[in-house]
Amino acid sequence: MRATSLAALTIVGAGWCLSGTAAAATPCAGLVDLHLPDTTILSAAVVAAGTFVPPDGTVAIDTMACRVAGSIKPTSDSDIRFEVWMPMTGWNGKFLSSGEGGFAGAINYSAIGGIADALRRGYAGGSTDTGHVGGTPDFEPGHPEKLIDYGYRGKHLQAVRSKDIINAFYGEPARHSYFSSCSNGGRQALMEIQRFPQDYDGVIVGAPANDWTHLLTGFVWNEQALAQPGAALSVSKLQAIQKATLASCDGRDDVVDGVVEDPRRCAFEPETLACAAGVDGASCLTPAQVRAVKKIMAGPRNPRTGAQIYPGYFTSAAGEAAAWPTWITGPVQGFFGNGFFARFLFQIPAPAVWDFNTLNFDRDVALADATMAPILSATQTDLTPFRRAHPKGRIIMWHGWEDPAITSVGAVAYYERVLHANRGTKDFFRLFMVPGMLHCGGGPGPNAFGQGYASAPALERNAEHDVVSALERWVEHGIAPRRIVAAKYVNDDPSKGVVRTRPLCVYPKQAQYVGRGSTDDAASFRCRNPRDDDDDEGDDD
């Protein structure tokens, strides 16, 4: 496992990694000869630190590792490419899998929870393209097996084959297997817990897109709302909406800092920004714009039954560049929503365009729920199989309150359903809501707590500040996280210093100012239930 002698280091240079059972280990190059079910090892080679730059051009992977690439073909129409990277020295004895955002289609080397992050922490790390190439849904029409590979099978098989390879390379199995990711990666995390509970004993679920069919329906709902004549919203109008929302409710948490602790407590009414009759301006809303904002805040409903399909979005960070201007009034939600319905549900091949205005929120949503949800949605609440598979297994879920992509209300609703479905939920599953954070990061609030060590490092890499370390301590030592201190860096750049720290609390508790000390210092806050005076010195349950 750890090469500590000169002889051992020489062998490492030749492609070996020694451990207490070195006789059973396989040299890196020899892994190409592994025989695994439905799997072909395409390459296996030692990669020197700093020599591999991911295709997206981000910082080179700075750990010397054995890189193994393979293909898994469980069906005749499958080709699930995957990679597992294993440190040549300093392996911590564990495996950390990343997830893949959006429509996947590529190995995650450097995004949140990617392979580079795992290696920096001493883990063996892995990822998969989930069975297709390219981050669009164009792969799917006519390929139902590829949809299953994307939906859940690819991630499961990647986990199994990665652990096989780790065992072969080090001569011993990983002591623990962890998963950490966000967005579609969060959906994958919950899918693994629900469908394949044996795969991981520690799982971090970030901003999960788990209610997939309803989430993508919400995207099209917003698109239709903004497509009405005169409904388009400029950035200046979104900034006015944000300013008005903060004026209404920023101080309700006893601190005026541009961050709302719980945006559900806000009561912004778009009509308060209505333009004078017959007038339009940069910071007011026309009648059509008022209607559009109200629809986006309310979320889609079934026109026949009135049932809520998906929750709406908050406005207290609407004007942030990476918030509504990118996701809701920008092109991103349309890309995902239109892609899902056109390519997945209606099987329209590229490059044909589907008219999003034709979506029927009764009939078409029911069809998506019947045909797509069983493959793509991860909404099961009974987690008994996970608890049986891993009596010491633990789950941490986190979500930015101001997420403009996957509304945070959905994560809260899912967690509350899990609370009702499982006895002693907080003994194995805890939710941390992040005030002022957007989608997977960014936003006006403290948003760095180790969810992506390379891009959003914690103040310190320990269980008090870093979510991966907190999960490790919970799984391996039985110490449950009661709060995690998050940092806000200047312009979200760690090299420029810290602006503010704030504790993230176990839901439903919230950070409340104690009335003394700097409001930019986490030490000035306690985690308290908004319904009573309990604080984090008492019982978390």
Per-residue confidence (pLDDT) for residue 454, from 0 to 100: 64
Phi–psi pair at 241, nearest 5 degrees = -60, -45
pLDDT (tens place) for every residue of the chain, 541 residues total: 333 333 333 344 446 554 444 447 999 999 999 999 999 999 999 999 999 988 877 778 999 999 999 999 999 999 999 999 999 999 999 999 999 999 999 999 987 779 999 999 999 999 999 999 999 999 999 999 999 999 999 999 999 999 999 999 999 999 999 999 999 999 999 999 999 999 999 999 999 999 999 999 999 999 999 999 999 999 999 999 999 999 999 999 899 999 999 999 998 999 999 999 889 999 999 999 999 999 999 999 999 999 999 999 999 999 999 999 999 999 999 999 999 999 999 999 999 999 999 999 999 999 999 999 999 999 999 999 999 999 999 999 999 999 999 999 999 999 999 999 999 999 999 999 999 999 999 999 999 999 986 667 888 899 999 999 999 999 999 999 999 999 999 999 998 999 999 999 999 999 999 999 999 999 999 999 986 544 554 444 4
Pairing of strands 429-434, 483-489: unpaired
Q: H-type helices in 68-211, by residue range?
A: 115-120, 144-148, 154-170, 184-195
Three-class DSSP category at 499: strand
Q: How far apart are CA 446 and CA 454, in angstroms?
A: 16
Q: What CA–CA distance (Å, rounded) separates 212 from 29? A: 40
pLDDT of residue 318: 97
pLDDT at 453 (0 to 100): 65
CB 210 within 8 A of CB 183: no
Cβ neighbours around 38 below 10 Å, total = 13
**Cβ neighbours of residue 331 under 8 Å, at least 6 residues apart?**
none
Q: Mark out the alpha helices in 300-355 (DSSP H runs).
A: 324-327, 332-339
Strand order in the sheet with 65-72: 39-47, 65-72, 80-87, 124-128, 94-97, 176-182, 202-206, 394-400, 429-434
**CA 188, 191, 195: angle at the middle one, nearest 5?**
145
Residues serving a catalytic function are: 183, 403, 439
DSSP secondary structure code for residue 32 in this structure: G
Torsion of CA 279, 284, 289, 293, to 10 degrees: -160
CA–CA distance, 262 with 398 (Å, rounded to integer): 14
Place of tokens 């007011």: 284
Q: Cα(371)–Cα(367) distance, rounded to whole angstroms?
A: 6
Report the alpha-carbon distance of residue 239 to residue 367 in Å, rounded: 37
Q: 206: Cβ–Cβ under 8 A, 6 or more apart, which residues?
A: 112, 113, 180, 181, 182, 183, 185, 186, 189, 397, 398, 399, 440, 451
Q: How far, in Å, are 208, 267, 296 from residue 314 at the CA level?
A: 17, 10, 9
Q: Residue 452, SS3?
A: strand
**Crossing angle of the two packed helices 184-195 and 154-170, in degrees rounded to 10:** 80
Determine the Cα–Cα distance for residues 151 and 387; give it in Å rounded to an integer. 23
- CA dist 45 and 31 (Å) reads 9
Of the candidates 510, 533, 397, 508, the one whose C-alpha atom is nearest the C-alpha of residue 445 is 510
**Mind giving me the DSSP string for 56-99?**
T--PPB-S-EEEEEEEE-SSTT--EEEEEEEESS---SEEEE--
Measured on CA atoms in the order 310, 400, 371, 358, is the torsion positive or negative? positive
